[in-house]
Amino acid sequence: MFVSDCLGVNSLGHLTIGGRDTVELAQTYGTPLYVMDENEIRRACESYRESINKYYSGRGLVTYASKAFCCKAVCKVAMEEQLGLDVVSIGELYTAQSVGFPAERIFFHGNNKTVQELQAAIEYGVGQIVVDNLTELELLNQLAVSQGKMAKILFRIKPGIDAHTHDFVRTGQIDSKFGFALETGEAMQAVKEAAGMKGVHLLGMHCHIGSQIFDIEPFEHAAEVMISFMADVKAETGLELEMLDLGGGFGIKYLPEHDPVAYDQYMQRVSETVKKACAARSFKTPFIVIEPGRSIAGPAGITLYTVGAIKEIPNVRTYVSIDGGMGDNPRYALYKSEYEALVANKASQPKTHTVTIAGKCCESGDLIGENMPLQDVRVGDIIAVLATGAYNYSMASNYNRIPKPPVVMLKDGEARVVVKRETLEDIVRNDML
């Protein structure tokens, strides 16, 4: 019925998440409100972990892409579930450090890491720094040598794969700000330069072909390309790379008609491709890393709002205004990302209306969605927008100086605040006169 397994409807006809009444949660914690089901997050972690162990005989690691949703609580969950952690900034690294996340299981990504970030990564002993370009490679080598340390690295490679997704989230093709290109010889050049450096040790390769992908074929193709390149590296330089990070990008169910591939099915088919490609080139099967983020956090979260003004424009549309908007979910404003919404206090009723959900920001593009089916909605109703666990809190802003909502985490029916609601004092905290 719903896009996430953790959702349901109780005897009052109210939407539930993790067994808790969302209307009650809205009354207790206020709106806007992010709600996450920790049990659902852990189920996804376990499913990925068991699948990679099954198909790679224990020679693999699931690494949570923390950019999807990062806070102390979720980093602690990833740590307890024996996952690695993908970070892309000093802020994400600091969050990981604050909960004692094992440095050897951290992968530091990013296309323009600062000196401060690279120094922090070296000092903390980050297990894998994913180098994006030659400038970064040279800088990292200098910093590591100056500290008398050896930085373990992967190279981010553009495998030239069309992932059949939105232009804004296609990152594996040659025209991308990320990574080394294969076609130009840039990637092989980088390998040869790294081989002669004293401050870096090249462990392997990384690629990421895009996000919200429903097909397995692009992942299979990427695996073939990457294994082929790693075999070419061995043939040309003698280096036998030991790790292949195939990234993430697995699609989730935002709308009822979406049909994402089961994790186990993905893992089985891609593992077969990896093993076949290795056999064809007489190349030892590398240690495999995958980096799911959205597919772990996304389905586990919802956002609750209270309806304010309702504006009916005859023969045009009906605007339903909420007490949040692009400040807590900018994804529709950025790239028309679609969501399913419902009236939480009328969840058992049919959706008989078509509305545009509008935010409260002073911006005409501040919308959560247009032409969305919804129950008969009235002022004061609670609207739930589903599958918002990823890239909502992470991308939230203080546009119009609106405080960011809190995050409430549910576990076994118990609720706790894991990120506090911002106050007005928080808004002016860093202002200077």
The Cα–Cα gap between 133 and 142 comes to 15
| Of 420, 425, 427, residue with least CA distance to 30 | 420
- Count of Cβ atoms closer than 10 Å to residue 431 Cβ: 6
Q: Which residue has 């953790």 as its token pair?
A: 6
- Residue partners of 220: CB distance under 8 A and separation at least 6: 269, 270, 273
The Cα–Cα gap between 80 and 42 comes to 9
Type of residue found at 2: F
- Count of Cβ atoms closer than 10 Å to residue 268 Cβ: 15
The distance of Cα 126 from the centroid of its chain, to the nearest Å, equals 20
The Cα–Cα gap between 107 and 146 comes to 22
b/e sequence 240-263, b meaning 16+ C-beta within 10 Å: ebebbbbbbbbbbbbeeeeebbeb
C-alpha distances in Å from residue 224, one per residue of 219, 232, 263: 9, 12, 19
- Count of Cβ atoms closer than 10 Å to residue 35 Cβ: 27
Q: Which residue has 């200098």 as its token pair?
A: 142
- Tokens for 357, please give them: 């959900």
The Cα–Cα gap between 19 and 25 comes to 11
Beta strands in 127-227 (DSSP E): 128-131, 151-158, 180-181, 200-206
Q: Provide the 3-class DSSP secondary structure of residue 356.
A: strand
Q: How many residues does this entry show for the chain? A: 433
The arrangement of strands across the sheet holding 7-9 comes to 7-9, 15-17, 20-21
The Cα–Cα gap between 126 and 76 comes to 17
Active site residues: 362
- Count of Cβ atoms closer than 10 Å to residue 433 Cβ: 2
